[in-house]
Structure 1
Amino acid sequence: MKAIVVGGGIGGLAAAVSLRRVGWEVQVLERAAAFAEIGAGVGVMPNALRALEWMGVADEVRRLGTPRVSGGVRASDGRWLVHLPEAGQERVIAMHRADLHGVLLRALPPEILFNNVEVTGVEELDADLVVAADGINSRLRAELLPDAPGPVYAGATAWRGVAPGPYDLPITQTLGPGGEAGVLPLGDGRVCWYVAAVAPAQAGLDPLELFGGWHDPLPHLIRSTSQVLRHDIYELPLLPTFVRGRVALLGDAAHAMTPYLGQGACMALEDAVTLASVDGDLARYDALRRPRTRAVWRGSRRAGRFGIEVRSRLGLEVRNFALRSVPGSVALRGMSRFTTWQVPSMPR
């Protein structure tokens, strides 16, 4: 059986690795001139690590990444709101997105990778299975589901980068009025960071003006980063199906979500392994993935309403009091409900 994967990002490469593991002949078509990944950090959550274990590449991910235990949540003035206990907590692997992409790329033979390929429609692809992993603005999704809504602005814009360091910091999230920030340390002393603020789309904003008064080391991380990436946050409204005919939507092409749970890339890895584990049974793939991604999509939305979208003084006081009142062990259980996913069993 032959599969063609459209899109050479993390989700597309993971699909290729996974399908080859169960015996499919695979080709990967990428529109860009080279297979590469831009961006900053990614937290490989326990659910994503299980998917990578199934693919056979988890050891290299552990070698390149840094196992960290999340430090918790802070207020913009630096006060700790939640300390997460280390006992019983599964590790998060902190790494650069380019490193994760490279692990998946090296797991594939070069002769199945084709770049500078513009796919404009499904009919031009000769394969038993087509995997549409072409991102939030997927052309294939628009062709297959012409009545489905396209991406919508989620009301916030974000900046991210990699500060040179060296630093020795825990993984932390910071919540402030109408904004949030995150710190994801890498093993070589560099730090991946992001800041996000409620704002109109394409607003002309300076991250240092917005976050320069937040606790250390956030302002210093922004100032010391030579290349800061900025993007408005979009999400994809929930789709009625992830499949149509011989085509399966995967990753952001199927369920692009807000980043407030840090599960976007993790969901794409889950998709890839699930698609292979059902061995091309697209009805089964749809039945497994839509409820799961819908729950995470909604969970990320709720996290945004409780986090970045809180702006009033009273709202901040209530939110921060609520967080301080929750024992770390309880907060940990609440977070782990999104990371307990297991790889589906293979069909006979």
Structure 2
Amino acid sequence: MNAEAALSPKGLPIALDAAGGDFGAPPNVEGAVLAARAGVSVLLVGNPVALHAELGKYPGSGALPLEVVHADDVIGMDEHASDVRSRTGASINVCTRMVKEGRAAAAVSMGHSGATMASALLTFGRIKGVDRPAILTHMPARGGMTTLLDAGANADVKATYMAQWARLATVYLKVLEDQENPTVGLLSIGEEDHKGSALVIETHALLRELHGQGINFHGNVEGRDIFLGTTDIVVTDGFTGNVVLKLAEGEAKVMFGWIKEALNSSVKSKLGGLLVRTSLRGLAERMDPSTYGASILIGVKGLAFIGHGSANATAVKNALLRAARAHEGKLLPRLEAAFGETK
């Protein structure tokens, strides 16, 4: 789906933690300008002086649906996530509070991921029927992408949590990706039902029982299946999911480094590199995390998206577009309805 074509500046704006991330205001403001030009209204939360200075770099930004909201504090990347409890004026807390109060449709942050999760959970609470929220992310796969969760919110989990995440991810893909009946795979060390840890075996049995009740369970999948696109959704615990995500991102960088070295190793290789440059550029874009913008913290009673601290303007823009689509698609009410029907 073309996100930009589907959006309009009508309705609630998206609250962006414009002070968060490794590089502070510059990529956040540039990303917000790009999103605003695509039709998304954005609230830039942070130091007004710094934000107005950045906005001044973009001619015509004054006519865009952008508004600066004051926040006199920001939780740094090296600080504790628990600080959100006492630092009410921190930019991420301002963002989630505006969503809670109905002044914003969603909160987006490229800042401290733990602080974003803590702020969202404390401010929004959980959807009724969800024991633990999860980080839902997308990974490039053959023919498109694979949706992975949990990508790091919960290291220690129960089988019931993963069954809930399977249902949450199913509704998410129906709303945002128009997938009518997405398949669910359970990450394990073998495809056979009896393979895996005690947790995996217990989760497999539970998902098998729930097949056809809001979940289209495929069965166990292995690590390679994530990139083969064997299933639309892959469910695992947050510890394993985060390792998988970081490994994939790291391997992609190393692999392209190897390709670059190989193509520059000789005159013939350099000539060959010119011939495949366009194809390699397209491949690099598919594997670039900024393509997906940010990951949703799914299961809380509000929309919150968490991006990379090193995010560039493209990632910020795409995160804002995805957040706007989630709101316009009524993702949260549909998630609540799905669990209400289950109950």
Q: TM-score, normalised by structure 2?
A: 0.24
Question: Whose helix proportion is higher, 1 or 2?
Answer: 2
Question: Whose strand proportion is higher, 1 or 2?
Answer: 1
Q: TM-score, normalised by structure 1?
A: 0.24
